Chains A and B, each alone.
Chain A
Amino acid sequence: MRLDEFFVTGEPLIYAGMVSIALVTSAALFLLTYFKKWGWLWREWLTTVDHKKIGIMYILAALAMLFRGGVDALMMRVQLAFPDMNFLDAQHYDEIFTTHGTVMIIFMAMPFLIGLMNIIVPLQIGARDFAFPYVNALSFWSFMFGAMLFNISFVIGGSPDAGWTSYTPLAGAAMSPGPGQNFYLLGLQLSGIGTLATGINLMVTILKMRAPGMKLFQMPIFTWSTLVTCFIIVFAFPILTVALALMTIDRIFGSQFFTLTGEGLPMMWANLFWMWGHPEVYIVILPAFGIFSEVIATFAKKRLFGYNAMVWSMILIAGLSFLVWVHHFFTMGAGAFVNSVFSISTMLIAVPTGVKIFNWLATLYKAKIKFSVAMMWALAFIPSFVIGGVTGVMLGMAAADYQFHNSYFLVAHFHYVLIAGTVFACFAGLVFWYPKMFGHKLNERLGKWSFWFFVIGFHVCFFPQYFLGLDGMPRRIFITNIAEWLPLNIISTVGAFGMGAGFAIFVFNIYYSYRYSEREKTGDSWDGRTLEWATPTPVPYYNFATVPYVDKYDAFLAMKEKGETTYDEERLEPIHMPSYTGQPFIMMGFLFIASFALVFEWIPLAILGLAGGLIMMIVRSFDYDEGYYVEVDEIKRIERKARGL
């Protein structure tokens, strides 16, 4: 392979990308060396198994991915509003919408939520870490290396360009030759290992490591949403793993699972993809529901209305999410009967979702609403998501879907649910739990600016797209070649830049608050209701000096009423903690090498990488490190300092 085939050439935008990557990388290397931080980086972060630190890394990576996916989005919007500028050609546009979709779903939405789960779920149930801290680190590094593999595609080898759904036969070797599509397959495969492992890990953590006394139906609602999500992950992700593997074998070793030649079944890919893909959208929406429930109850200063109904509707949604995948291709011609069945199952999801909306509204009824920034994100979610939801029901009506399918009506719908649902929740959750993670709040004034820019920009961007769809504008075209479509596209682009401004202010707020925000003095920043607020801030690495006995929903509220804390000197015992280890990082590093080699079909190097991974697994199997104990004196010292005793 020649060097000019290895690197992507001929695109000024991509050269600019290369230059900025080189600059940022060398700046990071320089700073680490200059401030002698290499050891710190290795000891504190790369080898950590602490769920709080892993969570922070997830969130930082997700914010970076949100930036990347957002830049992709803005480039598309510029192209659609000013087609005469010739900013992007068809090929480049195809690559950008493919990476935009993939990055946002796989490398932004999921890791952001998993990051929040990482930090908060153990704290909410009174656990000291995950059930399998080592596996948790492994999950993170698998995601991180998978994301890096996917992201380098635009400078090395070329980006995938068959859409985030990568339908065969288009995505097969015959019609999409070259490494681009391989980046998609292997990037997702590598990070999928981590997602599946996290699903199992959190499921076990929640089922086995709750504080004494805490029944399932006394768990905080965010923990419940996480548990339900874990079940979806565990049942849905293996389907993706298999589908990706089959297509990889097709492309690299010439099998014919999804090809047009040799009796392959190209449409099987669409089925497998959406059998995973539809549950996947609930993987990113259920935790969002959980976050909104926590935030709304806290700032309404009122108990969540209809807790049992909320939990059961999540379980129902999770079950139904596996029974609706055909609605992504009603137009495939499965016939009126099949489409009727899937139409009805799709619309049925609206019932438990509606119940949740009404429960949130009822939580606000007779409440005392405090408009903090986190609460504003949660409140903005309700009306915005309702618009996304009702148009989703319209899409679910198969006969009408023949007109909506593949159009901007669909694009508007899924951005309405994914942004108003997942992205608002990420912001709400980050703002809400930020003091617990970093020891200071985010500035509320800047937070409000960023909120208004983003929310107004969001509606200006996506509401017009419903009408573009009804006017026959298909998704994924790189120009608006019908004059009537142009005005609404320009409005949409203005909105997109509003969202961009909102994000920029949000990021600036992180820096500003780091510099100027008042440091938290107590662990209970918002007059919280659940156990994460019972820990001091910053949270000691063992989380709870003494684990409280829980016999009520809103456990911390009950503790506050009784004057209890998570520090009872009488009950102190040595705490068993896991040791930090570099093995997960190294193991996933080897798998990264293997995946990278497979992308370019360098089989010997791929075998070496896989062998490295295998050796690391053997090393792990003979690893008898049982962790260590934190002595009582040490706990006393830390807690007294943290609590100012």
Chain B
Amino acid sequence: MKSNKHRFHRWLALLPLSLVLFLSGCSGITVLDPKGPVAESQKDLIIFSLWFMLGIVVVVFAVFTYVVVKYRDRANRNDKDYDPNLHGNTTIEVIWTVIPLIIVIALSVPTVETLFDLEKPPVSSEEKEPLVVYATSADWKWFFSYPEQGIETVNYLHIPTDRAIEFRLSSADSMAALWIPALGGQKYNMAGMENILYLQADEQGVYDGRNSNFNGEGFAAQTFKVHAESPKEFKDWVKETQASAPELTQDKYNALLKPGLTGKTAFSSTHLEWVHHGTNDGRDYAIKRHEEAYEEHLHLDNEMLQDKADGHSNKNEGHE
């Protein structure tokens, strides 16, 4: 039994070690392998806090192992180091209250700084105006409207690199959250409210984006790809979409809003012309039009989801 206990401690001591090992190979872990300044600042904050946490874990585990091994009840234990009435020591109690307090202050300062920074576009692209994209969630799809370009995409997103993207988040119905872990943290999409989220990609590539906030049966399928490309490629893509994509009519938009899964599409106009779900007027637009549809089940299972993913990758290539 005592040998068991030892094995337990050795095993526990491995935990922080495994953490270090995992982190050293962190290029594979999305949040710790940022592709833009926002995710970068969040990663820095996480790593900064992680050192403190590792320190705490190492100290507590070391003290724990020491006392549990040293003060176990064993046959030849002498009673000199047994003090059943020891019940306080002001000095040490003050020390272990003050140290955590100092750690909390040390963590609060960069947290608050980063919080205020995240409310503004990243410093690295200050000289350029942010690109405004309205990201609207509807059960269980994404609409991305580019008002300046006059285009709208469904379930995929193109952005230029080295320029801040000002996402204006809202939802046509249930609450969702726009999360592109490679580019930065999430914020909620809510009907009747508008949240602003700044993200930016510094590296070209295709990144995973999704709704991270559970909102019903089709939740797992509410994902999209982010195509971060050079400003020139982005411009070309915009031009091509403006030229070749059909116009978005209100009827078409209303049909797309119906709860369910849809593929990727693009349009050469935006739904903002007749409704903005982030305003109080637009909050019940979808639910008034599709009231009965929310009762229907999708019967979504793994096979369906795989089919959907396969089917769509080649269906709309023209517009991507």
Contact = CB atoms under 8 A, between A and B. Distances in A.
Contact of A398 (B15, B115, B193): B115
B253 interface: no
A266 B190 contact: yes
A29 interface: no
A333 B193 contact: yes
Given A163-B214, A261-B284, A400-B45, A169 B73 contact: no
Q: Is the interface of A mostly helix, strand, loop or mixed?
A: helix
A357 B61 CA distance: 11
Contact of A175 (B67, B192, B294): B294
B193 A399 contact: no
Contacts of B193: 267, 333
Contacts of B187: 331-333, 402
Contact of A382 (B64, B175, B305): B64
Given A170-B175, A361-B64, A365-B71, A90 B108 contact: no
A368 B74 CA distance: 8
A176 B294 CA distance: 7
Interface residues of A, number: 101
Given A343-B111, A399-B115, A463-B15, A365 B86 contact: yes
Interface string B185-225: 11110111101100000000000101011111111100100
B17 interface: no
A361 B297 CA distance: 53
B8 to A, nearest CB: 8
B181 interface: yes
B16 to A, nearest CB: 9
B287 interface: yes
Contacts of A471: 28-31, 181
Contacts of A386: 56-57, 60-61
Interface residues of B, number: 112
B287 A403 contact: no
A394 B104 CA distance: 11
A86 B297 CA distance: 17
Interface in B148-192: 169, 173-175, 177, 179, 181-182, 184-188, 190-192
Contact of B41 (A260, A399, A407, A456): A399
Contacts of B302: 83-84, 86, 89, 478-479
A474 B96 contact: no
Given A386-B57, A475-B214, A484 B28 contact: yes
A382 B56 CA distance: 13
A266 B280 CA distance: 13
Contact of A405 (B57, B212, B299): B212
Interface in B279-305: 280, 283-284, 287-288, 291, 294-295, 297-303, 305
B179 to A, nearest CB: 7
B86 A302 contact: yes
B116 A336 contact: yes
A354 B107 CA distance: 15
Given A331-B185, A371-B1, A397-B49, A379 B68 contact: yes
B49 to A, nearest CB: 5
Given A340-B111, A367-B67, A302 B219 contact: no
Nearest to B98: A351
Contacts of B73: 301, 368-370
A383 interface: yes
B42 interface: yes
Contacts of A368: 71-73, 77, 82, 84
Contacts of B1: 371, 448
Contact of A361 (B31, B41, B67, B195): B67
A362 B181 CA distance: 42
Interface string A479-490: 101101000000
B24 interface: no
Q: Which of B96, B299, B303 has most A Cβ within 10 Å?
A: B96
B190 A369 contact: no
Nearest to A397: B111
B24 to A, nearest CB: 13
Interface string B41-71: 1100110011011001100110110011001
B181 to A, nearest CB: 4
Given A387-B15, A403-B46, A347 B104 contact: yes
B125 interface: no
B188 A355 contact: no
A267 B287 contact: no
A174 interface: yes
Contact of B5 (A371, A383, A394): A371
A472 B31 contact: yes
B53 A399 contact: no
B60 A361 contact: yes
Contacts of B218: 90
Contact of A94 (B72, B88, B108, B216): B216
6 contacts: A86-B302, A266-B191, A302-B84, A335-B119, A390-B53, A403-B31
Given A302-B86, A393-B53, 12 more contacts: A302-B83, A306-B87, A306-B88, A331-B188, A343-B108, A366-B82, A393-B107, A402-B42, A406-B179, A452-B4, A471-B181, A481-B306
Closest 5 CB pairs of A and B: A402-B185, A399-B114, A472-B181, A333-B195, A390-B53
